């Protein structure tokens, strides 16, 4: 996946689903459910159980066109193994060695940053977009503040984002939002109660913002 392709996907889809779970089979089912329900950008966090295996099995099930990414990528080895498993982009919690390593092996990166200095560092390392993390309850104000000096940087707020905050952040200029438990719930741990309804709600929100 080329950087411009990831950026286009973020601009058009407006939503990245984040899957992190303790049950690899349930996590796989969750990924498949999300993608087949129309949420195209799915990040599988490497902090989940057997996450690389989940990515690999999801890639086999979904084919080459699925926009599967690896999250919580911290090291160059993480990036390499994620690419081998079938991830087409990486997501980091900060400006780690994984940003440069991902670019070196041809993967675009959503690099985590919170301060102006970190945003500059992420861009210098080749990040395609900046994961504003942790966005938290002050995300809208933080996003607006950072867009002042960085009006052309594509920001993707992540962390503590429910549907109301997602709507506000997209309206405030976020290119997309990354959403974990408010969307996925405990589906990746084996309890998919309410997942279908949450997928529909977040899809509707993203489509409104597109």
Which tokens in the block code for residue 58? Answer: 């999801």
Distances in Å between the Cα of 44 and the Cα atoms of 70, 109, 206 are 5, 14, 20
Q: Closest Cα partner for 108 from 117, 100, 120?
A: 100
**Position 115 pLDDT exceeds 90:** yes
36 three-class SS: helix
- Report whether 69 contacts 79 (CB < 8 A): no
Confidence category of residue 210, pLDDT binned at 50, 70, 90: confident
Choosing from 2, 43, 56, 118, the catalytic residue is 43
Which tokens in the block code for residue 2? Answer: 């080329």
* Predicted local distance difference test score (pLDDT) of residue 175: 98
Is residue 97 annotated as part of the catalytic site, yes or no? Answer: no
pLDDT tens digits for range 67-114: 999 999 999 999 999 999 999 999 999 999 999 999 999 999 999 999
Strand ranges (E), the chain: 15-19, 41-45, 67-71, 89-92, 109-113, 129-132, 155-157, 177-179
154 three-class SS: coil
pLDDT tens digits for range 131-187: 999 998 788 999 999 999 999 999 999 999 999 999 999 999 999 999 999 999 999
Non-local (6+) Cβ contacts of 19 within 8 A are 27, 30, 31, 34, 42, 43, 44, 45, 48, 54, 180, 184, 188
Domain count, the chain: 1
CA distance 20 to 175: 23
Strands 89-92 and 109-113 come out as: parallel
Beta bridge partners of 119: none
Choosing from 77, 131, 141, 208, the catalytic residue is 131
Q: Is 140 exposed, middle or buried (0-12, 13-18, 19+ CB in 10 A)?
A: middle
What angle separates helix 139-147 from helix 163-171, to the nearest 10 degrees? 20
Residue 135 has a CB neighbour count (10 Å cut-off) of 24
pTM above 0.95, yes or no: yes
Is residue 118 annotated as part of the catalytic site, yes or no? Answer: no
Element (H, E) at 115: none
CATH code: domain of residue 194: 3.20.20.70
- Report whether 74 contacts 47 (CB < 8 A): no
Confidence category of residue 63, pLDDT binned at 50, 70, 90: very high
* Predicted local distance difference test score (pLDDT) of residue 167: 96
Please compute the mean of the pLDDT values over residues 19-35 and round it to a whole number.
98
End-to-end Cα spacing for the chain? 22
Range of the domain at 144: 3-209
């Amino acid at each position: 996946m080329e950087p411009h392709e990831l950026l286009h996907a973020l601009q058009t889809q407006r939503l990245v689903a984040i899957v992190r779970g303790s049950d690899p089979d349930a996590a796989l089912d969750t990924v498949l459910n999300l993608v087949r329900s129309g949420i195209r950008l799915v990040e599988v966090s490497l902090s989940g159980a057997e996450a690389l295996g989940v990515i690999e099995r999801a890639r086999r099930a979904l084919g080459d066109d699925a926009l599967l990414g690896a999250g919580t990528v911290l090291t160059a080895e993480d990036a390499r193994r994620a690419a081998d498993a079938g991830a087409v982009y990486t997501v980091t919690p900060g400006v780690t060695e994984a940003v440069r390593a991902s670019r070196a092996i041809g993967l675009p990166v959503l690099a985590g940053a919170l301060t102006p200095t970190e945003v500059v560092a992420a861009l210098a390392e080749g990040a395609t977009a900046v994961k504003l993390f942790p966005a938290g309850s002050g995300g809208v104000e933080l996003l607006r503040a950072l867009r002042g000096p960085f009006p052309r940087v594509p920001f993707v707020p992540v962390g503590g984002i429910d549907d109301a905050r997602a709507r506000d952040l997209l309206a405030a200029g976020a290119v997309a939002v990354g959403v974990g438990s408010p969307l996925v719930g405990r589906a990746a741990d084996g309890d998919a109660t309410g997942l279908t309804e949450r997928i529909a709600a977040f899809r509707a929100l993203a489509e409104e913002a597109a």
